[in-house]
Chain A
Amino acid sequence: MDGKYFHHALKFRKEVCIGCSHCMNVCPTQAIRIREGKAELMDNYCVDCGKCYRACPVGAIIVEQDDFSQIFRYQQRVALIPSVLMGQFPEEVSLTQISSVLMELGFTHIYEVEHGVEVLRDQIVSYMENHKDNKPLMSAFCPAIVRLIQVRFPTLTENLVHLKPPLEIAASFYKQMLIDQGNEEDEIGIFYITPCAAKIAAVKSPVGQDDSPITGVINMDFIFNKVYTTVKKGFIGKNTCQIPDMAPLKSTGVTWSATNGEAANIPGRTLAIDEISNVIEFLEQLENEEKQDIDFLELRACDESCAGGILTSSNRFYTVERMRNRAAFAKSEEQKGNYRYTSPGSVVQYTDFLRDNARVGSIQPRSMDKLDEDIAQAMKKMKKVHEIMDVLPYVDCGLCGSPKCSSLAEDIVQGQAQMNQCIFVQKRMEQQGTLKSDDSMQIMKQIWGAEKFQDNNNQNV
């Protein structure tokens, strides 16, 4: 198979994995197999959506995280926080309180990611004007979706809006502002508090860019626990550290990462679709049809978008409710003229800089469906896949260690699996006398591990 393309933030811990296959069964891109009683990730198929992380009953899948102490390598330590972080907490916890905990942890600056979305929205609108032939244009906001399109819907890569997500825009702006204030570039560390694994992967190996202005990533659950512990201990309001003056986030920014946050702010006919299986179903259909009159698609991998990210702690429906309440409040303040955005250090002053830096390079298709680079070879393999499919039962039971009969057929053709891994094939062979009972037991042990077939085994039950 091809070389490694992706950095993955999801890591499978073999020593913890019990080979239960829950992850394999929920993976929307069929990227997981079971071998010798352990889940294995096929790197090139994984889009970091995190469904497996949620399905794992024993915590064998973890989200890698940069060591927190690395922030102290920098003199200017910026925490980039998404609006979803604020939405994690009950309304009585204020942004000032959250900020004060972040400052005590060691950050010197705190900035909300979505301050730049107005600049981004204008960029999207002019991008749409210039790319009318690629309708419907699709948001590149969610990195799991960008990867999904590259892998599963390669014909749609040119429909992606080739603009940086708000996170990258906020990071570029803040870094530039600190440089303009006289800081050296290598003294600045920009750290993003992430609600999901896909954004970590996107920072570590950005698509369509050489590198990211973001120095490191900190998982949101870690920060949530720190803040909530402090809140529970009642320390709130007694902090001694100085909280920086923060411009309030506009209503558009507050809900930008929620479902319909983008779509509602883009002119024309727009649709917002969340949850990766819904997105796959929709794109599958879209690929068949000739150009449509949809102008813009907002596509998000998680249910309820970023509020449903795998590193969030609060129930996603409460989170969305809080974000909407906050947006409504912001809107009324904006209308009263209470919010001002013209102070030095406002993103508005960097509009030109951000406009010049908003584009990403080309986003390449990387179809993972191809059976072979060479069409003649691929044709042979495809024939074989169909021959094998005629024998397999179409049950998708997963007992062979592949998630579907069709994935087993492809695995066999690629030399990664054997026909007799199928339990139905085994039974037939046993009856015909071509496979001994001992041998079929051996095959099952190779897939599921010997432990699962021991007598009186109460482990993991």
Chain B
Amino acid sequence: MKRVLAVAALLLAGCGSPAPAQTGVSGNVTVFAAASLTESFRKLGEEFETANPGTKVTFNFAGSSALAQQINQGAPADVFASAAPANMKQVTDTKAVTATPTTFARNTLQIAVPEGNPGKITGLADFAKADLKIALCAEQVPCGAASKKVFEAAKITAAPDTLEQDVKAVLTKVSLGEVDAALVYRTDVKAAGDKVEGKDFTEASNAVNDYPIAALDKAPNAAAAKAFLDYVLSDKGKRVLSEAGFAAP
């Protein structure tokens, strides 16, 4: 048993110290990122690996609150990118992050309708119609909290048929045509392709969602964590994010 452990330790040590790259960072960097960042962060990760030979970016995409809980339970993450400041606060409260998080992107809501707009949705006021099938995010998740804010600002009482557990579940209902309208993030409409049409509405400005990012205090690879953070905040990072539909902070 001891010998097995010794060999394992040697192997691990070997993994941790490959030839240093030009930028001085190397090794694995583990990024915990909100589910809505899946497409854009995968792309950023690939670009980062190309720019920093010898590095490998590993992602854990999930709901921001689940990620915050995993971090607080001691998950070995280097970087945390949250879809809402509230979830970032969960990890700064426990001192898992002591640095000030940086807002790197903003997301706004958009009305999503199935291809061809069968419910003839024209604006936010249609969400009050009881005869239309409406899907919203549950208030407990960030997109639901944002939807609530928007309806309050517009003084509209929405008549939803379902309050979904996350924004992707809402989108599934729209793309299958099960609902006539839904509120999701602009980036989700963009990622959904042709089956979903997005409609802007003026009240969306009442609920702009900030995405904060921070390196963890106990990051196993602090140097690479900082390099990845810088890359997200760089012009190249901003370009990838804006292509995905995010607004600059």
Partners in one complex: no
